Amino acid sequence: QNQKTKEQIESLLQNGKHKELRDRLCCRLTFGTAGLRSAMGAGFCYINDLTVIQSTQGIYKYLERCFSDFKQRGFVVGYDTRGQVTSNCSSKKLAKLTAAVLLAKDVPVYFFSTYVPTPFVPYAVQQLKAVAGVMITASHNRKEDNGYKVYWENGAQITSPHDKEIIKCIEECVEPWNGSWNENLVDTSPLRQDPLKKICDCYMEDLRKICYHRELNEQTNLKFVHTSFHGVGHDYVQSAFKAFGFQPPIPVPEQKDPDPDFSTVKCPNPEEGESVLELSLRLAEKEGAKVVVATDPDADRLAVAEQQENGCWKVFTGNELAALFGWWMFSCWKENCSEDADVKNVYMLATTVSSKILRAIALKEGFHFEETLPGFKWIGSRVKDLLDNGKEVLFAFEESIGFMCGTSVLDKDGVSAAVVIAEMATYLEGKNLTLAQKLIEIYETYGYHISKTSYFLCYDPPTIKRIFEKLRNFDAPQSYPKFCGIYNILHVRDITTGYDSSQPNQKSVLPVSKSSQMITFTFQNGCVATLRTSGTEPKIKYYAEMCALPEQSDRSVLEEELRKLIEALIENFLEPDKNGLIWRSA
């Protein structure tokens, strides 16, 4: 019933664009590392009114099967500020259609009356004891994209088998039901409630549990700049700073209000570093603010920059921020725990492509460290298991600037991370230290962990498959490489096939993930490198890290070794020229 998307298909048909019609109509959306995500537009593998209705009908069918009390407990729906005029498609409209499908089936829906950060949906699912929730967002993807993120009753994103079962249910009921198109139901149905005020208040109250230095925060002269990247973050970050006793951060005026075109940045991903933080760094210089915090468009991720003594800015990587957060959350726990608290009951987690710095801290301090597959959905589920077994989880992260401080939200959360980093900077300033200086202290105590993450763009799936298949049949059929250039490979782990040469039974401890490509190499020189496909974008990503012992403190030697190894990895394993890969633009 959407005229705009209907016209897109009709025009392709009239112009004889049969290949594009096939591409758009002959495959369905599938669950990646962050739910369903694709470009907005017409077609069954795109995000549009119809595919959102179909997905929600499938979810209804599955939840009805899983929960006898579904119609008592209800369902949460949130959305960001994305939109596309050419498809008459916006996150809010798609959220209204999601709600309509459920309301028409007499399911109570907690529908937020305005845009919210992604972490508010999993938080609301737990607080309101709903059976599940959906957030309409494509996070930091390009402006053309949108997505559909599903959370289970435990407040974590769904993992298998739920995703597979939901896809089956979607395929069983593709015809829209009566009432599914009625987006006005959210305004008229008595079953619709607005959870905004309650969730905001509870969230800010819970946030105070990880505030340890309120008096310092109230007195500090440190200034902070915040950019919300044309997304949802502004109001919520302002409130979070207030909850911690801070003066509100200075917002970047051009980026504070929602803008689906993200018109001041070349891409809305704060991970891209200084090039996309230009406006906030210039404002900070003007205002004399030493620290910049940037939340991505749906405020579930956080970038941080700090002005150094020479006037230059240091933009921290996700792995560097994790070292700071890990040190901070553990120090605060140690200072505030009861006398009989057992450090062996304490956990931190990271995804397997992230830095091993938490492992080094855990070994020295006596707490537990665990790894999961890439994607916060795996972290959320594992943290819930640990909590249910009486464990205490302080912190979890993924290198792509996703952080979970505390366990109020079982997903990454840029709002809480922003205010925790502000408190950390305030505390350190009282000790005459900057974040960057503290980071060096952490590395000197626990060992340098120097990492580099980047990617190549590849729009041709067969090429990607060929690159990874070659690695599985390198010198001979079914044999992985023993060297990469001059570097000796000790172990290979292939998550796609479940092989791990370091295990006695040659089987990977992490679950197999056949739908994506991912191979990790452990080198004799202490470097660990992973090649994988992105779950949300047409990218081949690489992650490499040198993990040194505390006594190996010559950083420049380690950096040079890592640089050479990455060069060898790209040249021997990815072969960008031969495979037509597009280098990430600097």
Model's pTM, two decimal places?
Answer: 0.94
pLDDT at 513 (0 to 100):
86
Distance CA 574, CA 484 (A): 11
Quick one: tokens of 2? 């959407």
All domains of the chain, ordered by start, with CATH? 3-201 (3.40.120.10), 203-318 (3.40.120.10), 448-583 (3.30.310.50)
Residue 586: per-residue pLDDT: 46
Give the pair of three-digit tokens for residue 320. 């560097």
Provide the mean pLDDT of the chain. 96
The pLDDT value recorded for residue 553 is 73
454 is an active site residue: no
The pLDDT value recorded for residue 31 is: 84
pLDDT of residue 551: 84
Structure tokens at 431: 């000790």
* Contacts of range 24-27, beta carbons closer than 8 Å, 24 or more positions apart: none
Any residues with CB less than 8 A from the CB of 390 and at least 6 apart, and which? 345
Output the 3-class SS for 380-418.
HHHHHHHHHCCCEEEEEEECCCEEEECCCCCCCCHHHHH
Exactly one of 139, 180, 355, 416 is catalytic; name it. 139
pLDDT < 50: residue spans in the chain: 586
Task: Calculate Rg over the CA atoms of the chain.
Answer: 24
